[in-house]
Structure 1
Amino acid sequence: MRIVLIIVFIAIVGSAGYGFYIRPEDFSTGELCVGLSIVGLFFVWMPLFIYHRWRKRNFKDYMLTKENLDKMREKGKEEKI
């Protein structure tokens, strides 16, 4: 998954760079490349990155349940002493 993320990111950056390079000569094609790069970054790369970073996490550890609130209160009492 990490390799896929790196390859997709390099492709997006390359496409944006190409769009900025070609923009003075052919404005519409350059703008299209830059726009598609931004769309790819936010709708392809970012969801893949978020999935990659959170796939092995337990969401209950990050929710404010009664048990987690009690743990935080106990931890706060221990630090004060």
Structure 2
Amino acid sequence: MKYLILILTIAALTSIILGFTLQVDYAQKLIGFGVAGLFLIVFPLFSYHRWKDKNLKDYMLTKENLDKMRENQKRNKL
């Protein structure tokens, strides 16, 4: 998955750079496909890859997590 994301990122960035540097009729399409590829394919894949094994409750502000934060704050002040 990591290599697929890397390849797609390089392809999208290459498309954007080529769209700016080449003087062809479809330069704007290259830029558009590169940006669309980044935002519609690469970013969701990257987000899924980074969050797939994480527990979402660890990142939510629940009463238990707030109590843990307060306890850690008191411990660090001493």
Normalised TM-score (structure 1): 0.87
Tell me which residue corresponds to 1:13. 13
Confirm whether residue 3 of structure 1 aligns to residue 8 of structure 2: no
Identity of aligned residues (%): 47
Figure out how many residues of one structure are paired with residues of the other and give that number.
78
Structure 2: unaligned runs, 5 residues or longer: none
> Structure 1 residue 31 and structure 2 residue 28: aligned?
yes
**Following TM superposition, where does structure 1 have runs of at least 4 consecutive aligned residues deviating by more than 2 angstroms?**
none
RMSD value, Cα: 1.2
Unmatched segments (≥5 aa) in structure 1: none
Are 1:49 and 2:46 matched, yes or no?
Answer: yes
Q: Kindly provide the CA deviation profile for residues 31-68 of structure 1, in whole angstroms up to 9, marking residues without a partner as x.
A: 01101110111111000011111111111111111111
